[in-house]
């Protein structure tokens, strides 16, 4: 297995995420076929963070749904990271919490039965949810609800974490804080992660590998690897990297 990205810490699943989608077609409402994905093939090294970025409606979310097993009707093959419990966690665009269960219950329900009593104090405390454990989702702001969705994803200690624009429609200040929280929690126990975003800044800040997609039907436009550790990515570094990427992939900023 050849891997171009940086050497990875040993935690998380021992094998890479391998995605090879050779075609995905939707049946449109008028009966005609809409080709959503032409060909997308990439790998995400174990315990590294990859981002899919591309224009609106290019098939990013469709790719995630295929990986999550929510859309089994496609051509190609997938290899999910093995090891651990082989579990997959997802953070969707909407928090998707059960409104009739408290914050803590929402997180605990995702735990596998054998881990039902796991101590979640540390996770809730890192994410600043200590006071919120007995609240219902309707009492939370969108930013807090998203933190609960992150808590749920990390609570199950997944071998693959999938994030679909997890910080969309938040004000910039909240989004920045949540990105930092995501990196903190993720760094504490790195797991193979794949995120979809529109935001190149976000991608540069979080990822080890950025995969650029074309317009629909989606193909890979290019793959950019980042070797600088998260802790060393300061504002100046980010601006240089952004302009370098923007020069190479016009129109992505």
Binding status of residue 253 toward other proteins by CB under 8 A = no
Q: What is the spatial distance between Cα 155 and Cα 148, in angstroms, rounded to a whole number?
A: 10
Binding status of residue 101 toward other proteins by CB under 8 A = yes
DSSP 92: -
In DSSP terms, 88 is beta-bridged to 160
Look-up: residue for tokens 């429609």? 169
Q: Which of residues 3-42 bind other proteins (CB under 8 A)?
A: none
Using CB under 8 A, pick the residue from 34, 75, 79, 100 that binds other proteins. Answer: 100
Q: Which is nearer to other proteins, 89 or 150 (CB)?
A: 89
Binding status of residue 92 toward other proteins by CB under 8 A = yes
Binding status of residue 96 toward other proteins by CB under 8 A = yes
Binding status of residue 118 toward other proteins by CB under 8 A = no
Binding status of residue 87 toward other proteins by CB under 8 A = yes
How many beta carbons lie within 10 A of that of residue 55, not counting itself?
16
Using CB under 8 A, pick the residue from 35, 57, 70, 243 that binds other proteins. Answer: 70
CA-nearest of 151, 157, 111, 118 to 132 is 151
Binding status of residue 78 toward other proteins by CB under 8 A = no
Using CB under 8 A, pick the residue from 6, 76, 104, 136 that binds other proteins. Answer: 136
Look-up: residue for tokens 């969108």? 142
Binding status of residue 156 toward other proteins by CB under 8 A = yes
The rounded Cα 194 to chain-centroid distance in angstroms is: 4
Buried b / exposed e over 79-88, threshold 16 CB at 10 Å, is ebbeebeebb
SS3 157: coil
Using CB under 8 A, pick the residue from 139, 184, 215, 239 that binds other proteins. Answer: 139
Residues that bind other proteins (CB under 8 A): 68-70, 87-90, 92, 94, 96, 98-101, 109-110, 112, 136, 138-139, 152, 156
């Amino acid at each position: 297995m050849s891997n171009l990205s940086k050497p990875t810490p040993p935690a998380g699943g021992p094998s890479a995420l391998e995605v090879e989608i050779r075609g995905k077609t939707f049946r449109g409402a008028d009966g005609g076929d809409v080709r959503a994905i032409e060909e997308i093939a990439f790998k995400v090294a174990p315990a590294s963070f990859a981002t899919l970025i591309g224009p609106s409606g290019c098939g990013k979310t469709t790719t995630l749904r295929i990986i999550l097993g929510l859309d089994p009707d496609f051509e190609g093959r997938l290899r999910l990271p093995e090891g651990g419990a082989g579990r997959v966690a997802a953070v969707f665009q909407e928090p998707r919490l059960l409104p009739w269960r408290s914050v803590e219950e929402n997180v605990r329900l995702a735990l596998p039965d054998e881990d039902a009593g796991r101590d979640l104090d540390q996770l809730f405390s890192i994410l600043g949810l200590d006071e919120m454990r007995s609240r219902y989702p309707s009492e939370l702001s969108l930013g807090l609800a998203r933190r609960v969705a992150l808590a749920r994803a990390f609570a199950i200690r997944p071998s693959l974490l999938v994030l679909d624009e997890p910080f969309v429609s938040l004000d910039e200040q909240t989004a920045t804080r949540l990105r930092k929280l995501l990196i903190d929690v993720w760094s504490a126990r790195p797991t193979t992660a794949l995120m979809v975003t529109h935001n190149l800044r976000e991608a540069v800040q979080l990822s080890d590998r950025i995969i650029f997609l074309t317009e629909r039907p989606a193909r890979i436009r290019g793959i950019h690897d980042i070797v600088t550790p998260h802790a060393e990515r300061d504002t100046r570094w980010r601006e240089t990297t952004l302009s370098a990427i923007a020069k190479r992939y016009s129109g992505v900023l």
